[in-house]
Structure 1
Amino acid sequence: MIFENLSDKLQNALSKLTGKGKLTEKDIDVAMREVKLALLEADVNFKVVKDFIKTVKERALGSEVMESLTPGQQVVKIVNEELTKLMGESEAKLNISSNPPTVILLTGLQGAGKTTHGGKLALHLKKQGKRPLLVAGDIYRPAAIKQLQVVGEKVGVPVFTLGDKISPVEIAKQAIEEAKKNSNDVVILDTAGRLHIDEELMQELRDIKSTVNPDEILLVVDAMTGQDAVNVAKTFNEELDVTGIILTKLDGDARGGAALSIRNVAEKPIKFIGVGEKLEDLEPFHPDRMASRILGMGDVLSLIEKAQTAIDEKKARELEEKIRSQKYDFNDFLEQLGQMRNMGPIEDLLGMIPGVNSKALKGISFGEKEIKKIEAMIQSMTQKERENPEIIDASRRKRIANGSGSNISELNKLLKQFKDTKKMMKQMGNMGKNMKKRGKFGFPLFK
């Protein structure tokens, strides 16, 4: 999970304050020492940590906390606000040109995920109604052009290429003309990376920048490299004056140091984060939502947005009707599993629910392997068994378990959970009907 280690430690340090009716300076000192250690262990830049602790402590010792009826909660509020500030306060949106096409220059070191994230960005913009054009400007790395063409095909976005014999500056120029001709309103330039920053790389990028005058220069950096990512961002910004950052592989970084340091050190906003391997796994970066998740307060808005993109509205209405009329069966459950999979890893979704902290999720397995096992058990049932699980007797259970490569106890557990879920749905349905009869606010599912 994103920020798992940091989240655990910060929540633990602050929980010692929330249970107290009154706080002393010593209480705050002890908590701030733990917060400082947690941030340093998360690979957050030392100067950033020092300034953060100083600000939080000054505010925590002020009247807004000391004279409050809930001083511990006030400290948590301050930490939340300062974490949000650290990461940029509010979402930094893309600069979209009023005179199309909008030109986006992607840059970064080799291996950061530039080409893949060019495709992810193109897909993101396509979903917003844009007509992007991907441009193969990396003429040095073997198979870089082919990789972009494969990515472009997967997301359904055209790729402009002139091969590897023409200069990237000329490719960029001709790509913009091509975009104007074909009414592409966004041009995404994929450029060459290096294993390290060198003058030749920077000069080429400066030449492209001066020739095409991009609306955005987005630096793609790997979150898992921690402070190296921060240093790369600082150098690229000094050389090119980047407009924003795409932080990749954030789902694989349980520490989170790069996300918490990069805005402060490089003085440029994180605009997008890569949170998975799928081409859909690119999200606009919301500092306030991320701060809430780190402190175990959830991220309901992102959860809703994920649901809106992954779940078919018509099917959701049909499902609501089935639940209301008690016709919900294993076929519906199987369909729901597929929709949940489209929303991303289940443990990450649970982490967005307020009050569900990462400690509560430890030891519980929500992986793809478990979902596939459940799907296999349901798919081993006959149509009649899926519609009427009550008919699944001992011999049927044996057949289903054998057919799905599971055992009887796993199948029994699934059948029990399904029965309990249906029972709960019936109770919620009755509650909704009763509230409606009384003219009171009904359960949200049953409007």
Structure 2
Amino acid sequence: MNPATDTRPASILKNWSISRNFKSLFEQGGETFHLINGLRFFSFVWILVFHTVYIYGLLTGKELFYELSDTAPPWLWWIWNADKAVDLFFVISGFLISIILFKELGKTGQISLKRFYFRRYLRLTPIYAVIVLIYWLSEGRNYEWVWTNILYLNNFLPVDKMALHWTWTLAVEEQFYLVLPLILGAIYKKTTRPFISVLIWMLIASLLIRLGVIYYYQEIWNADYREMLSAEAVYPAFYTKLYDNLLTRYGPFVCGAIAAYGYCFKQDELRAWLSAAPIKSTLLNLLALATILFFTLFPVMSAEFSEAGPALRFYVVAHRTLFAGAVAWFMLSVFLNIDTFKPLARFLSLRCWQPLSQLTYSMYLVHFIVIYLCVQNVYQNLKLIEGLDSTMLAVYSISLSSIIALLITIIIGVLCWLLIEKPFLNMRDLFKINKGATNTAPLNHDL
């Protein structure tokens, strides 16, 4: 009898089997989206490196933080664009969740909201609740507000009142999970309008909302990018109204949902359209990768490009959607085997990224605290070395802290997976919810 589906107490306890849970880290299963493993892990590394630079700036002064962005060589500009890694995570989430929902609609004609919400909450909450409890018991910064974290409402708080402030992404993600099945279910039942047209209109609306927000809050409209991030008169509105708000961040999720629609319902049409003129797939993939590279390497925080004006406003309105759209097309082209840059896809799909990808959620939850402790200790020790100027001290401190923090978060991630994450995922299977809905084979009919 399968211990994951047997409700007897002895079998339930087997869900905490260390050996079985460790083996599961390396199981690829029947899914076909191996590319996502590499994307997830390297997105996390991207965020970790930036937060190391950010925390180093907190300890040494924001002037040095911006000085590093001004003096960094072009091949390091990606560090200061790590917010795109969050958008990449949102694209992946939108894609995978939409796949599940489209499959369920295709198989049953409806979405079981109760089961869907329960499974999503059980997927995210157990390990999150443990981290929140530890944070509350240790009386961390703004610990009295941790109840908003468990309810996934912490992004509604001013940034200065958030506990575990980097977890605003979980709130936005869970809120999107709350809304998307309602929208898709309503479209399926109450209108003949195709899903794709509604998703495209949602994407257009996301751009208009961002434009409306920055225009309404004139302190954002008239600010340069550095002022948006750190000026006392600007950053509260920037973070609360624009940066960590579902209404201004849902665009990348929709890009992922559009890619999922193409994968589920339009594979044959896409292949036929692209095969009619092979140059189209090459040009589209080149455009997508050029867009990804541009927004990854664009030095928006440097003094030269940070100035207020129409160009910066266009960037603030559109950069997330353009980047997310390019990532979504890149993913879809790989999954449909019409990608031009196969070496990159093969690298990101290597089997070695599978276990690391599984750990990224737990690693993300603890990484900020780990980085802070690492930077504090590494910096204090390195500054005792004679002959290190401020630039070299920063380079060595950030590099060493990033490596140590990554290794520690991986170790913590493994422990969290073995003892909390995977056991509760095993428990989730007791409810036999969405069985078959996650099959990744394309559907043969349209919605």
Does TM-score exceed 0.5, indicating one fold? Answer: no
**The structure with more radius of gyration:** 1
Between 1 and 2, higher relative CO (CA 8 Å, sep ≥ 6) is seen in: 2
TM-score for the superposition, normalised by structure 2? 0.25
Structure number with the higher strand fraction is: 1
